[in-house]
Structure 1
Amino acid sequence: AVSAPPPIVATLSQSVVPSVNGKSRTPAIVPVTVSLDGDTLPAGNTITVTATYLKDGNNPRVAVCHFKVPLVLLCTAIPPVKNATYKITLDTNRLPPSLPALFDDVLATAPAAADAARSSGGNALSFQCYSGEVVTILVSKNAGRYRLQSDQFESMWVIADELCRRLVAYYEGPGAGAAGGTGPFAVSYTDPLPLQDYWAVIDAHFDARGAVLETRRQLSARAAEFRSIQKRLLVRFKDRNPAPLGNMDALMDATYSDILQLADSWEEQQEALEAASAALAGATQLLLLLVRFCFQLDAEADSVLRAHLSPIVEDTVVPKSGTDNEIEFHGWE
């Protein structure tokens, strides 16, 4: 089974391999195509592959593998954009490499951005996510300091996570040198955590949930009213000597118009909620990353933190217990 965070999708969600030959034989190959389905910010960049198999007398076994989505699937490089609203700074204990060399695979697909990055001395590089957000990396060559900036707070997490992963591979991979530093390579965050910006994203998501819920309630009430009017009109039409309609036909038309208007509003608000959910997921990913670097959390502590502050945002509308028409949200908050 293959699972990916939205809007990333895998063309093959499940595949059955009759048998797997071991030793030196050619391993079984299951091709999977990964693509984007939607224009929202990715909620994650890790795809999970789960293999369930039988071994040693039909005893079930499970193997799980995680791998990162290539950055070129999530964004493209553009000429540097140096002005932005939100900024974060990451410090390292190594002299920085050239940004064009660090992101050579992304620049290979964007010749104009590659030329602009080289002409700027390799200390500025901008990326545009396919959802529209622009994130810029500015590097201080003498201090090993990286500034990430964007007009959208939540969008910085994709580039921040990828930058740190590539720096670790650059300094700790095969053939890596000290590069002007001593001790293990480390990334740190020394500024105050941007909690106010994070609270603003949570508030926006909560307001979007409330708007969808209120519209659904109004739509449910209008639908019940419409069914009631229909029943009354049917009773009068079946009567041999029907009483006057008493403007019930006009009331029915008005209620029907309200239903159509509320349905259109609900669709628009649902799209806004999906965007707010993606923004909250991205903001949570960024905050978790900054907390890890701020307090130098190890992998186990980071996993525990993610279990309590989940970057997975799901909003589900369910019937309210004990009622007929009332509904409620089961959401991230």
Structure 2
Amino acid sequence: MWAITTILRDLKGVIVTLSDDGHLQCSYLGTDPSLFQAPKVDSREINYEEMNAEMKELQKIIREATKTQDILPESEKQRDVTVTAEVSPNLDEESQAIDSEVKAGAVPSVTVKITIQSRVTAQKPNLAVCVQAPLAVTCDQFVFDDLEPDSSETVVLSVFLKENCSPSELEGTCMVSYNIPTGIPRVSQCSFSLPLKLVCFPAPPAKAANHKLTIDTNKPPISLVTIFPDFVDSSEGDQANALGFQFLTGSKTTLLASKTSQRYRIQSDELEDLWLVTKELVHRLEEHFKKSNCKDFACTFSGSIPLQEYFELIDRHFELRLNAEKYQELLSERAVQFRAIERRLLTRFKDKTPAPLQHLDTLLEGTFREVSAV
């Protein structure tokens, strides 16, 4: 083969090769040049009037989407969607409690009726109902179709005590999320209070207790029959000065009203059970004097804060957390051991040549008992 370099039709550097069998080939180094030429664009004059009109229309849409009232919260009277919750004054005749861990014989429940009212079109409304553990609801999520203007939706659910411990609050929250026609998301919410009888019931008062709390007031003492009519038996008369609250978790709290001084005492064997009764007492006293147009009513606590008992509860809680982690690690180890023994036994059973189990069945049974015990 031989080759020469020549010029072919104004193309420099063409390599001409001739092979041994007589094939002649002309080639060059590089790539084929692009012969495409962009066509000329038809020039036209810009219509500034049309562009200005389009710009004004776009600015109008932007202003509508970024109005202040669409971002800042509105007053309750001007809300497009309002949600209200109505708690039944009585407990459910037939309890709606589901999978409750409370060891009491019957776990009560109370019905909550939630109403959503819309003044405008509400797109994709979702309702969420929240209560603090250990309380629970029968259903906490609701999804509705788009709400038309001046329409409403109503749902009914029940609240009950699910875990075997006393709650820190008897409050709940309803929250509705939706979109308005402009695509802006909004939220409307409300709160509701649950009755004290949901977590406790009347019981004979206890004479002695480990923890005591005294509330001082600046008004004459009120009969407990007037303050707690739902916890007083009508046969006790109008001068009951001691009430007992038996919690579903098993503990008892006693409320005492002084006949001579302006004091109320709350006592219980469990420190954490003092809070709910104390809060309910203060709330009912404030409501009672508010109805009497008394504006200077006040409750005070002059005793020492039970910090030692509080710190003991924290230490106890920390100890329980450590024990929970320890048992979780132990359970994980025993589970790994159980699966390893299972794999070895399965291999022995699949083997065509029978072999002794070497006490693997005994190990499997013992590990299973340990896992069950944890």
Report the TM-score range of the alignment, normalised by the length of the smaller protein: 0.5 to 0.7
In structure 2, the gaps of 5 or more residues are 1-127
Q: Identity over aligned residues, as a percent?
A: 36
- Alignment map for 1:249-260 (pairs within 5 Å): 249-260=361-372
Q: Deviations over 1:54-93 (max 9, x none)?
A: 3463422212212211122222222332221110111122
- Alignment map for 1:27-106 (pairs within 5 Å): 28-55=153-180, 57-106=182-231
More strand per residue: 2
- What residue in structure 2 maps to residue 288 of structure 1? none
- What residue in structure 2 maps to residue 213 of structure 1? 325
* 1:149 is the counterpart of 2:274: no
- What residue in structure 1 maps to residue 74 of structure 2? none
- What residue in structure 1 maps to residue 132 of structure 2? 5
The whole-number CA distance in structure 2 between the counterparts of 1:196 and 1:137 is 23
1:163, distance to aligned residue in structure 2 (A) = 0.6
Which residue among 230, 243, 247 is the counterpart of 1:125?
243
1:208, distance to aligned residue in structure 2 (A) = 2.1
* 1:177 is the counterpart of 2:294: yes
Counterpart amino acid of residue 315 in structure 2: D
127 and 21 in structure 1: CA distance in 2 versus 1, 3 angstrom threshold: farther
The whole-number CA distance in structure 1 between the counterparts of 2:229 and 2:149 is 37
Taking structure 2 as the reference length, the TM-score comes to 0.59
In structure 1, the gaps of 5 or more residues are 179-183, 263-333
* 1:192 is the counterpart of 2:304: yes
- What residue in structure 2 maps to residue 19 of structure 1? 147
SS of match in other structure, 1:32 = strand
Counterpart amino acid of residue 221 in structure 1: E
SS of match in other structure, 1:31 = strand
Contact (CA 8 Å) 1:48, 1:65: kept in 2 or not? yes
Which residue among 112, 115, 130 is the counterpart of 2:235?
115
Q: Deviations over 1:280-319 (max 9, x none)?
A: xxxxxxxxxxxxxxxxxxxxxxxxxxxxxxxxxxxxxxxx
The whole-number CA distance in structure 2 between the counterparts of 1:54 and 1:236 is 63
Aligned residue pairs total 246
Taking structure 1 as the reference length, the TM-score comes to 0.66
- Who wins on radius of gyration, i.e. which is larger? 2
238 and 39 in structure 1: CA distance in 2 versus 1, 3 angstrom threshold: closer
More helix per residue: 1
SS of match in other structure, 1:177 = coil
The whole-number CA distance in structure 1 between the counterparts of 2:354 and 2:279 is 72
The answer to which of 225-234 and 65-74 deviates more is: 225-234
